[in-house]
């Protein structure tokens, strides 16, 4: 993929991409391609744009919030505009706009606003698809045994949360990994559960640890929780580490709603 050069084409201001997404356009597309390269994403995630529209609604419309409602409506509207041109799934969309020239061409004949397209691409990366995070974020960095286990897993190609899910979501795969690496089976399963929880949008390793400390050790346990019971447990878990509960750090309503709509991946 060729590096984008700053151009203006039908209001396509390339310098706006980083302001909207934190990345240059090429980086944004590359990150999407990387995530779509995982077999579990291709197999388990609904990549049809109609399915993305429904999933976005479930992930974003979990409470009355004008900002989220407007964002959700914008995503839905942009997807409907794209579908008019025969693009039916995420893979096809990324192929259609995978570099600056092709993006400009698409914007030219579709009359879709450039910023609306970029906002949709960013939504796919940050809200709809699982976001890659370093595997070290999900272990105790002060525990030398954990770090030793992690080093062994890295030698088998596990460097982030998505690698862990890809290679160890199935029981037979976890057993094989344990035999090959001599990493305890319980440690592998716990790490699989932690990385599975990290598929909730914007949930990082520290947030996963708080969920775990509050008794929510799997994505399914979060999906089956109630806000009324979860909040006191989170408050206690945070208090134990000298922090106060804040929805800006952990949003119970969002976590539960999003866990409910995420595809089930881990098999026992």
70-115 confidence digits (pLDDT tens): 999 999 999 999 999 999 999 999 999 999 899 989 998 999 999 9
In three-state form (DSSP H/G/I as H, E/B as E, the rest C), the secondary structure along 194-262 is HHHHCCCCCCCHHHHHHHHHCCCCCHHHHHCCCHHHHHHHHHHHHHHCCCCCCCCCCCHHHHHHHHHHC
Q: Could you tell me if 160 and 238 lie in one domain?
A: yes
Residues 38 and 81 in one domain: yes
Angle at 28 between CA 25 and CA 33, to 5 degrees: 125
Band (pLDDT 50/70/90 cuts) for residue 150 is very high
Give the Cα separation of 194 and 224 in Å (integer): 16
| Structural domain includes residue 248 | yes
Domain boundary among 104, 128, 152: 128
Do 18 and 87 lie in one domain? The reply is: yes
Token pair for 41: 């994403």
Q: What domain range is 12 assigned to?
A: 8-128
Considering the chain, what is the average pLDDT of its residues?
A: 94
Q: Does any domain span residue 78?
A: yes
Residue 183 falls inside a structural domain: yes
Same domain, 111 and 190: no
84 burial level (CB within 10 Å; 0-12, 13-18, 19+):
exposed
At 231, is the pLDDT very low, low, confident or very high (cuts 50, 70, 90)?
very high
Total number of residues shown for the chain: 268
**Residues above pLDDT 90, as percent of the chain:** 90
What's the confidence (pLDDT) of residue 14? 83
How many domains does the chain contain in total?
2
Q: What pLDDT score does 161 carry?
A: 98
Whether residue 266 is contained in a domain is answered as no
Q: Compute how many other C-beta atoms are within 10 angstroms of the C-beta atom of residue 168.
A: 24
The pLDDT of residue 5 is 44
Residue written as token pair 């109609």: 50
Whether 77 and 160 share a structural domain: no
Q: Which of 128, 158, 189 is the last residue of a domain?
A: 128
- The reply to whether 219 falls in a domain is yes
Could you tell me what percent of the chain has a pLDDT over 70? 95
* Domain edge (last residue) among 67, 101, 128: 128
Angle at 236 between CA 231 and CA 239, to 5 degrees: 120
Instruction: Quote the CA–CA distance of 99 and 204 in Å, as a whole number.
Output: 30
Is residue 6 very low, low, confident or very high in pLDDT (cuts 50, 70, 90)?
very low
186 & 115 share domain: no
Output the pTM of the full model: 0.93
């Amino acid at each position: 993929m060729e590096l984008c050069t700053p151009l203006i084409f039908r209001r396509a201001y390339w310098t706006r991409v980083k302001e909207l997404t934190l990345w240059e356009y090429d980086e944004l597309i590359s990150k999407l391609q990387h995530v779509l390269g995982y077999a579990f994403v291709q197999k388990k995630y609904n990549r049809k744009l109609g399915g993305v529209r429904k999933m976005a609604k479930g992930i974003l419309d979990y409470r009355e919030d004008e900002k989220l409602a407007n964002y959700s409506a914008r995503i839905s509207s942009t997807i409907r505009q794209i579908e008019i041109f025969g693009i039916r799934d995420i893979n096809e969309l990324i192929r259609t706009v995978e570099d600056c020239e092709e993006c400009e061409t698409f914007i030219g004949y579709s009359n879709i606003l450039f910023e609306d397209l970029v906002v949709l691409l960013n939504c796919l990366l940050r809200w709809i698809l699982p976001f890659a995070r370093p595997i070290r974020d999900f272990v105790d960095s002060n525990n030398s045994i954990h770090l030793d286990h992690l080093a062994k897993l890295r030698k088998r190609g596990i460097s982030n949360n998505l690698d862990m899910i890809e290679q160890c979501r199935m029981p037979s795969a976890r057993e094989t990994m344990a035999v090959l690496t001599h990493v305890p089976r319980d440690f592998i399963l716990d790490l699989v559960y932690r990385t599975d929880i990290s598929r909730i949008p914007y949930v990082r390793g520290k947030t996963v640890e708080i969920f775990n400390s509050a008794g929510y050790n799997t994505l399914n346990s979060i999906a089956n929780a109630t806000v009324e019971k979860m909040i006191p447990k989170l408050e206690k878990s945070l208090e134990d580490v000298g922090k106060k509960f804040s929805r800006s750090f952990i949003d119970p309503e969002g976590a539960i709603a999003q866990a409910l709509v995420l595809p089930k991946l881990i098999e026992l």
